[in-house]
Structure 1
């Protein structure tokens, strides 16, 4: 398996989420610094003018508490997205904003819906369900971590708190689930060790021949066992990708 098919940490894993989050904070700073209020650029359901909020609404926040509570989960989840699902990360973010925003526009109350929480619910839902569907232990572990950290967010998809866009949260949750089902792009696979390869025979492993049946190390392998060892070619070949 080629190197780029394995889990690979790179600067983009941190840089892209950080730049995305920085842009959101710059919009908020601009509002505070120059006395603007961009709330009317949010999603206003069932109106033609309110459609612009599908694109602009995620970058607008009402106050410092609102943007602070969205920043940490957005950064953590987007980092996980770029680390484990880099080939489709931007698709999930861009189409996640558009689709969850359209759902919110379709079912929302007549009010301005702002903030990145809809995208956060897309990432929570996608990360959890895609990890379960993939059946890779690392991604399943990531899904369980998401549930542990953000599992209580499920309650905010219901109208339990005044002034909270539960419609946006529910739209993000549904969108993430749909993406987990229908995004068929290849997911990076964890590297397999020798004992995980197809056709591996433990009895032919030269390393294991140095141990007896009780697990004790054998410094000098008996000749009859040593003769059974297959020849190993240590010639290095240039890796062309």
Structure 2
């Protein structure tokens, strides 16, 4: 129990530092972008149907079109990103990759060719879906409680996955949400097979590593 708690605290610290660093990068990019009259957003935002623009699915979450835009995304990105990451950075990074690709592909496939999409809101919706469904799938009381609270607090933003607001990338929101749900399924904790041998309890050279992986649900 003590080892699990220590591991959780260490992972939570890494998650906090990661999200603080991400916020610093996004706001630093915003300053440069603003000074450049948002040229970075136009140059490195995602345009649909252009093969050479596909890599921009990984740059568009760092770019915004106004101070209000970046401010609106920052707090939910920080909170939901932290909750997605506090169980371990490996799963968080994999989930982030799935979310970025899912949101980017949906925008690239279905958005108007003349439209440039940028902003971190797709990642926000992805982390929302990931945290809520992870709480349902994983056999962990803390994750379940976190999922319920997040669903209650952020449920109202789900209107953003519908094409009801002009100038809002609902496709990016929907794609991010789909990616987050998919990541929760792909990265869920799987119960050990009944036929699998019991975990070693010896003090062999790999015992500590196996216990750490077990604490992480891996």
Counterpart in the other structure of 1:83: 86
How high is the TM-score relative to the length of structure 1?
0.72
1:86 positional shift: 3.6
RMSD, matched Cα: 2.2
Does residue 58 of structure 1 match 2:61?
Answer: yes
Distance (whole Å) between structure 1 residues aligned to residue 152 and residue 7 of structure 2: 23
* Distance in 1 of aligned mates of 2:69 and 2:102: 22
Larger Rg: 1
Residues 186 and 27 of structure 1: CA distance in aligned 2, closer, same or farther (over 3 Å) = farther
Distance across 1 between alignment mates of 2:152 and 2:119: 23
What does 1:135-150 align with in structure 2 at a 5 Å threshold?
Answer: 135-150=139-154
CA distance in 2, matches of 1:47, 1:179: 26
Q: Within 2, Cα distance between the matches of 1:68 and 1:143?
A: 24
**Which position in structure 2 is the counterpart of 1:235?**
none
Distance 1:63 1:127 in 2: 28
Match of residue 3 from structure 2: 3
Q: Distance in 1 between matches of 2:72 and 2:156?
A: 14
Show the counterpart of 2:176. Answer: 172
Most deviating of 37-46 and 57-66 = 37-46
Separation of aligned partners in 2, 1:86 and 1:4 = 16
Contact 2:46/2:60 (<8 A) preserved: yes
Equivalence for 1:18:
20
Q: Could you say which residue in structure 2 is the equivalent of 1:33?
A: 35
Would the aligned equivalents of 2:102 and 2:178 in 1 still touch at CA under 8 Å? Answer: no
- Contact kept, 8 Å, 2:23 with 2:74, in 1: the verdict is yes
Trace 1:204-223 onto structure 2 (pairs within 5 A): none
Residue matched to 1:112:
116
Q: After TM superposition, give the deviation of residue 5 of structure 1 in Å.
A: 7.6
Q: TM-score, normalised by structure 2?
A: 0.79
3-state SS, counterpart of residue 27 of structure 1 = helix
**Is contact 1:157-1:166 (8 Å) kept?**
yes
Could you tell me how far 1:64 is from its partner in structure 2? 0.6
* Deviations 1:180-213 (CA, angstroms, capped at 9, x unpaired): 11224679xxxxxxxxxxxxxxxxxxxxxxxxxx
Give the CA deviation at 1:152: 0.9
2:133 paired residue number: 129
Say if 1:142 and 1:7 are closer, same or farther in 2 by CA, change over 3 A: farther
Pair 105,6 (structure 1): closer, same or farther in 2 beyond 3 Å: farther
In the other structure, the counterpart of 1:154 is 158
**1:181 and 1:102, CA in 2 relative to 1: closer, same or farther beyond 3 A?**
same
Residue number in structure 1 paired with 2:103 = 100
Does residue 73 of structure 1 match 2:76? yes
Q: Deviation at 1:34?
A: 4.5
Contact 2:98 2:179 in 1 (8 A): no
Q: Out of 168-177 and 38-47, give the one that drifted further.
A: 38-47
